[in-house]
Amino acid sequence: MTVASVAEIRDGVRSGARSAVDVCRTAIERIESVDATLNAFNTVVAERAMARAAEIDADRHRFASAPLAGVPVALKDNICTRGIRTTASSRILETFVPPYDSTVVARLQAAGAVIIGKTNCDEFAMGSSNENSAFGPVRNPWALDRIPGGSAVAVAAGMTPLSFGSETGGSIRQPASMCGITGLKPTYGRVSRYGLLAFGSSLDQIGPFGHTARDCAVALGVIAGVDSADSTSATHAVDDYEGALSGEIRGLRVGVPSRLLASGVDAEISRALSASLDVLRARGATIVDIELPHAKYAISVYYLVATAEASSNLARYDGVRYGLRIAQDDLGAMYARSREKGFGAEVKRRIMLGTYVLSAGYYDAYYLKAQQVRTLILRDYHDAFEAVDVVAMPTSPIPPFTIGEKTADPLQMYLADVFTVSANLAGLPAISVPCGFTTTRLPIGLQLTGRAFDERTLLRVADAYERDTEWWKQQPPTAR
Amino acid sequence: MSQFTKEQVLAVAALANLELEPEEVELFARQLGDVLTHAEELKQVDTTGVSPTAYGVAPHTVDRSDVVVPSLPIADVVANAPERELLPRGGFFKVPRVIG
């Protein structure tokens, strides 16, 4: 099986060379054949998708300039879809059917995309492994006993050519890296968060998974832009991302924080990073050593800030307006019992931690301190971008670990987020592209971080890298 | 060293409106203690005079005209409620009796 690009599918459907119904049927059949093993989908809306695809085929001229005409897409199950169950992979929302579409979904529909279903994820997007789902762990298509890191599996296993995830601390880049595909976290505010179930409101951002930077560029062009329903959405003009992919990176300066990477990075991952830098250098880029002196504190800052925000955001799940209710005679008891039965362990842990760091007597020592160090992390990047155009790092310091390996010790799982969380704290765009494999055939990802709202440069470098490499063409055993 | 006692776990759980199973109390005491101990590293960072950052990309104040726009139909809004009442004068979420 060869992978069709998003642009190929779109152009084919527009011209009539491909039928949207055929493309949609292929996606659904693929899900039927591999997903019993992988568990990547919580909900598949086959009938609805086929009807939508037929509508596109029947009325082709209406979609003549639709940027995603007939492209099957999967959506992480924390992105609200009107009339399609949206669970956040939590018992507490197991039966929740949103009465409205998120802005991203509305834009995808208008762009001619065909929604295939909702992907499994860590409960309320909390986790770096995709083991913390009420509906069971998702498996890595490259090694079924390993974690996929999140909602990248639909694309990695060839079920849909494009999918959308969300990031608070790396949940697009990490799974993209661990599953051998490309994943983009846009600048904070680049994409509306309206209809994304909130986790960390100052960090959350929706972004695409695709096989290539080009697929992600097409997708970003559709979902980016200001939205009156999200006051944190940015008013910056939306760039022509696809048009930015010139392959030209001569004179581009790539910063590498070598001191930060000196310890704690798996040897095979370090070698893959070095080889990636050689590829960029051969295309005319200059590699520059930079310092990010406070990046090593990003994990601590992140887990204080993100849990504080989560404890506040998840207060709304109380069994009153939606979701699970455990009936009790007393209102307070009803809240507490419903939350106890509805939330899984990782969500409870984070609500507890966030509640604690915001509580009287601890606020200054933890939350305020974390926000101050967040300022320093931001300044480091600001200083670095005086000298370089993008920053390169591994996406993850370790290859995907075994399912269950870190369940008893969540801190060990949190530490694997060391290279991703700082971009969320600083609001910066970042992308993960496939850059190699371990000797045991586990994917490795190269992470590039850019200036705020400069997704064009980021995508241009990622695309240039993918032109000179074949890693992104590799397919896992389950997708062949 | 950050120590997290079972009493603290229960106090925080009460603040967060969470009931916990007895085994969770013990587990969380250890796991939350581990995370807070790790976060002690922030004490090494000199933040004298450093202002806190709430958003990586500074948000701007958004104004809009004060005009009425349609909201979702009430029936749709209450449709997900575990208990609800739709009356001619509106829709309601039902909860256990709070007063009297």
* DSSP code string of A458-474: HHHHHHHHHHT--GGG-
Residue A479's pLDDT is 64
**Chain A residues within an 8 Å CB radius of B72:** 99-100
ipTM above 0.85? yes
Calculate mean pLDDT across residues B17-28: 93
CB contact under 8 A, B39 and A370: yes
Q: What is the DSSP letter of A81?
A: B
Please give the structure tokens belonging to residue A79. 């992105």
In this structure, the strands spanning A430-437 and A443-450 are: antiparallel
Name the residue among A297, A373, A428 with its Cβ closest to that of B56: A428
Res. B1: pLDDT tops 50? no
Res. A133: pLDDT tops 50? yes
A73 sits in which H/E element: strand A72-76
- Whether the model pTM is above 0.90: yes
Q: Is B95 on the interface with A (CB under 8 A)?
A: yes
All residues at 6 or more sequence positions from A340 whose CB lies less than 8 Å from its CB, including other chains: A326, B18, B19, B20, B21
Residue A380's pLDDT is 98
Q: pLDDT, tens digit, for every residue of A2-19?
A: 678 999 999 999 999 999
Please, which pLDDT band fits residue A110 given cuts at 50, 70 and 90? very high
Res. A466: pLDDT tops 80? yes
Q: pLDDT, tens digit, for every residue of A143-192?
A: 999 999 877 999 999 999 999 999 999 999 999 999 999 999 999 999 99
CB contact under 8 A, B17 and A189: no
How many CA atoms does the CB half-sphere of A297 hold within 13 Å?
A: 28
Question: Looking at domain B6-44, which CATH architecture does it have?
Answer: Orthogonal Bundle (1.10)
Which of these, B1, B90, B74, B79, lies nearest to B37 by C-alpha position?
Answer: B1
Residue B64's pLDDT is 87
Please, which pLDDT band fits residue A407 given cuts at 50, 70 and 90? confident
Report percent pLDDT > 90 for chain A.
Answer: 94
Q: Is B86 on the interface with A (CB under 8 A)?
A: no
**Domain assignments of chain B as residue spans, ordered by start:** 6-44
CB contact under 8 A, B42 and A424: no
Catalytic residues of A: 76, 151, 171
Calculate mean pLDDT across residues B23-47: 94
Residue A480's pLDDT is 62
Residue B42: alpha-carbon gap to chain centroid: 24
Q: Is B41 on the interface with A (CB under 8 A)?
A: yes
Question: A7 with A214: CB under 8 angstroms?
Answer: yes
Instruction: Tell me the nearest-neighbour CA distance from B23 into chain A, angstroms.
Output: 11
CB contact under 8 A, B82 and A427: no
How many CA atoms does the CB half-sphere of A248 hold within 13 Å?
A: 3
Domains and CATH numbers, chain A: 6-251+430-479 (3.90.1300.10)
Q: pLDDT, tens digit, for every residue of A369-382?
A: 999 999 999 999 99
Calculate mean pLDDT across residues A337-365: 95
Longest dimension (CA), chain B: 62
Name the residue among A409, A414, A427 with its Cβ closest to that of B56: A427
* DSSP code string of A149-189: -STTHHHHTTS-SEEEEEESSSTTHHHHHHHTSEEEEPPTT
CB contact under 8 A, B35 and A332: no
Q: pLDDT, tens digit, for every residue of B25-34?
A: 999 999 999 9
**Chain A residues within an 8 Å CB radius of B42:** 297, 300-301, 369-370, 373
Which of these, B28, B31, B34, B16, lies nearest to A310 by C-alpha position?
Answer: B16
Percent helix, strand, coil in chain B, to 5, is: 40, 10, 55
Report d(CA A78, CA A156) in Å as an integer. 20
Q: Where are the alpha helices (DSSP H) in A39-139?
A: 46-58, 103-110
Question: A109 with A31: CB under 8 angstroms?
Answer: no
Report d(CA A425, CA A53) in Å as an integer. 39
All residues at 6 or more sequence positions from B91 whose CB lies less than 8 Å from its CB, including other chains: B74, B75, B77, B78, B84, B85
